[in-house]
Structure 1
């Protein structure tokens, strides 16, 4: 079975909210936010998050997974892939590949030079997935925003080669 992918806009706020809360519930240490914090968001907050000016938000339907991407000011024009999550029932079925491909496609459509992402040190499965898509590990490292005992490293993929 293969999930269908869909880019979201503000009218899809319930879909993004429900999947994001499921992700935070199932994998709390994977994100820089918390279930408690995001349960407190209003409809307006969710709609604002899905404004196309704030980047890409996409879901693999049937609640298979989600991903976000944006262009932070401090990344010199690079897109940052974030909040990627695949529902446990869909893991190992290509959903992660589909989500990564969508971010890379969006970055290319918008002529960005590369895609960066932060991965928790020791998350070997995620590192392997990203490596299959041409990402390489860098020396850039920081403490995880939500867990002092976890560090993250940047993986990057140059586009247009």
Structure 2
């Protein structure tokens, strides 16, 4: 069974653990590195928790986390950030549950759209996002480590 919980400002350690697992598994997908973020201190992690709304997937309260997604409000829409599911948990609907949690949070705050950026090379993620109602916009952004396309999903 998948247990989702919304992280609070006290949850910096679980956020750190899942983020480092994310970067260890998928270093080219997130525009950062394990080495960089392993150096972050408590204040850095707590700061992230105040900038975004995070949801964590685990087998139960206190169980090991195997998925994360974050949402952030801005410019009349919410953006999905840091979406990741551990390889062993993929194919179980975890991504759909995490995205639904972020979409519900965004809709509760009045956002009409949930947007994201997906790496050009991450075809698996792109297919998953399309199955979950996201549509490619044709808007591309190139950052130092990757080229990303914007995708959107209506929340209305």
Shared fold by TM > 0.5? yes
Shift of residue 146, structure 1, vs aligned partner = 4.2
CA RMSD of superposed structures (Å): 1.2
Q: Deviations over 1:1-43 (max 9, x none)?
A: x320010011111000001001101110110211111111111
More helix by share: 1
Q: Deviations over 1:60-116 (max 9, x none)?
A: 0132111111123xxx31111011110111011111111111111011111011000
- TM-score under structure 2 length normalisation: 0.91
> For 2:118 and 2:47, how far apart are their aligned partners in 1?
26
Structure 1 residue runs of 4 or more that deviate by more than 3 Å after TM superposition: none
What does residue 149 of structure 2 align with?
A: 153
Task: Give the alignment of 1:1-150 within 5 angstroms.
Answer: 2-51=1-50, 54-61=51-58, 62-72=64-74, 76-143=75-142, 145-147=143-145, 150=146
Tell me the number of residue pairs that the alignment of Structure 1 and Structure 2 aligns: 151
- TM-score under structure 1 length normalisation: 0.89
- Unpaired stretches in structure 1, ≥5 consecutive residues: none
More strand by share: 2
> For 2:122 and 2:44, how far apart are their aligned partners in 1?
30
Q: SS at the partner of 1:41? A: coil
